[in-house]
Amino acid sequence: MTPQRGNDGSIDTRLQGDFPVVSAESAADLVSDDATVLVSGFGSVGYPKEVPLSLANSNRDLELTIVSGGSVGGEIDEQLVEANAITRRYPYQALKTAREAINDRRIAFSDRKVASLGDEVQYGGLVDPDVAIIEAVAVGKDWLIPSTSIGQTPAFVNAAPKLLVEVNSAQPLALQSLHDNYLPGKPPNRDPIPLTEPDGRIGSSRVEFDPSKLVGVIETDRSDTTYSFRDSTEDDQAIAVNLRKFLTEEMNRTPVFDDALHLQFGVGSLGNALMGELAEFDPDGRDVIYFGEVIQDGLLEMLDAGHIESASATALALSEEGQAKLFENIDRYGEDIVLRPTNISNNPALIDRFGVIGVNSALEIDLYGNVNSTHIRGTHVLNGIGGSNDFNGNSLVSICALPSTLKGGDISRIVPLTPHVDHTEHDIDVFVTEQGIADVRGCSPLERARMIVDNCTHPKYRQDLREYLDRVEEQDGHIPQDPELARELFD
């Protein structure tokens, strides 16, 4: 496939225009004590760093509402939290400091689906923004070029009355070759998104704005905090083998995949490991294309090996080694990688259009196929729902892949009833663990439960789960269950 390039041309200078270049401290002074702040960032990269640090160190009595596109780094979700500067947080976080403050209810947290967040901010009344703080590799009087993520940057820039831009010289200008910024029109007269191929280009490397919004530009060379992926485990490898088996059978089952497979993997070490392990997958002459949220190291390896044709995402969530490799070879990767706003990368209509096979993980699942992605024991949030709901609910085939146990086998991830549900029994088609595959499409609740127990649970817990089903099956009802017995067996 040949990408369609934007027609605005590339730039070779980071600062272009007549605008105020200010210190981070001066920029922080432009943020009111109780401001609602929209910040760039997704996958813990591409977020502003200097202004949040200055706010954290200001000794002001701050009560900020922070809205990000996805996860961000420690300058926001550690330093600002430790300064007691954040009172409300949307829509996702991934750091221990923020997580503890949320679970202690020192920060009011609302976990949101990321695909629709831009619309919620612009049109839905979620927040009334005061300022957007955006990281960029370059800025002009009425445009900016994002850095290592796009996330909700176009929507946030559009929604905010004031704009602060951090221009980061630690990020290469050549990142502009990856970007395809496209902001859908306003409902109810919104046109269909004109993307017909996953690696096509429908927008620009630039995000444009009203020049009167730009109140300050801050120069920085502070790098992103890169990912640390754990090594692939035996369970990861076994899950990958089972996933390859399912994909092979699915290719042979339906003509939808005669020409190409469009895959998505969730963020994190398991998704990264599965991408790396799928190097041995044989698509039998079909194109394999990635259409998802993040570019991770495993995806670069697949591109390098020629196992995938192209990759469309919203962020470069890479390790230090992976980021260095991409930066050093960005011209080559620019032919195959496209970064888009989240309301495009996670758009339900596009996920449906391309017939995506979505592969996401979870904390735990229950016997009837309900999935808990976010809350430990149903009470303590871990990170957030992120984009898993976008893909689980809209993929042609939705797969939940996870190890069957935690803590070296001491905890079963498959339980009679999960105390928190992020994705219902209607959202997931296939479950894959290191033990096997449960394709539950078309199954009744009890059929689904038996298949999950027999094919996906660890042998250590299989008999207990079978006995639970035997006992509740004696009850009436479409979905028989016994919460007290479930707690007795798996509390």
Which is the catalytic residue, given 293, 301, 364, 434? Answer: 293
Strand pairing category for 430-432 and 437-439: antiparallel
pLDDT of residue 6: 41
Q: Is the pLDDT of residue 2 over 60?
A: no
- Whether 15-220 shares its CATH topology with 234-490 is answered yes
Each residue's pLDDT tens digit, 216-253 = 999 999 999 877 778 888 998 899 999 999 999 999 99
Q: What is the DSSP letter of 378?
A: T
Residue 249 falls in the annotated catalytic set? no
Q: Taking Cα atoms as reference points, which of 127, 131, 104 lies closest to residue 38? A: 131
Q: How does residue 416 score in pLDDT terms, banded at 50, 70 and 90?
A: very high
Q: Which CATH number is correct for 234-490, 3.30.70.1290, 2.60.120.10, 3.20.20.70, 3.40.1080.10?
A: 3.40.1080.10
Q: Provide the 3-class DSSP secondary structure of residue 409.
A: helix
The residue extents of the domains of the chain are 15-220, 234-490
Each residue's pLDDT tens digit, 141-155 = 999 999 999 999 999
Please, are residues 171 and 137 in contact by the beta-carbon 8 Å criterion? yes
Q: Which letter, b or e, does each residue of 68-86 get, where b requires 16 or more Cβ atoms within 10 Å of its Cβ? A: bbbbbbbbbbbbbbebebb
What does each C-alpha distance from 269 to 232, 298, 485 come to in angstroms? Answer: 8, 10, 34
Each residue's pLDDT tens digit, 322-360 = 999 999 999 999 999 999 999 999 999 999 999 999 999
Cis-peptide, bond into residue 419, ω within 30° of zero: no
Helices and strands per DSSP (H, E), number in the chain: 18, 27
Looking at the DSSP bridge assignments, the partners of residue 165 are: 134, 217
Amino acid found at 457: T
Q: Could you give the CA distance from residue 359 to residue 439 in angstroms, rounded to a whole number?
A: 13
pLDDT of residue 313: 97
Task: Report the 10 Å Cβ neighbour count for 23.
Answer: 14
User: Could you tell me what percent of the chain has a pLDDT over 70?
Assistant: 98
Q: What is the DSSP letter of 193?
A: P
Looking at the DSSP bridge assignments, the partners of residue 295 are: 316
Q: Could you give the CA distance from residue 177 to residue 173 in angstroms, rounded to a whole number?
A: 9
pLDDT of residue 9: 62
pLDDT of residue 271: 80
Please, are residues 261 and 288 in contact by the beta-carbon 8 Å criterion? yes
Q: What is the mean pLDDT of the chain?
A: 93
Its pTM surpasses 0.85: yes
Task: Report the 10 Å Cβ neighbour count for 491.
Answer: 7
Average pLDDT over residues 259-272: 87
Q: Any idea which of 152-161, 229-238, 311-320, 431-440 has the lowest mean pLDDT?
A: 229-238
Q: Could you give the CA distance from residue 48 to residue 137 in angstroms, rounded to a whole number?
A: 11
Each residue's pLDDT tens digit, 79-98 = 999 999 999 999 999 999 99
Average pLDDT over residues 161-184: 97
Average pLDDT over residues 318-322: 91
Q: Which CATH number is correct for 15-220, 3.40.1440.60, 3.10.20.600, 3.40.250.10, 3.40.1080.10?
A: 3.40.1080.10
pLDDT of residue 5: 38
pLDDT of residue 187: 95
Amino acid found at 57: N
Q: Could you give the CA distance from residue 203 to residue 210 in angstroms, rounded to a whole number?
A: 18
Q: Is the pLDDT of residue 454 over 70?
A: yes
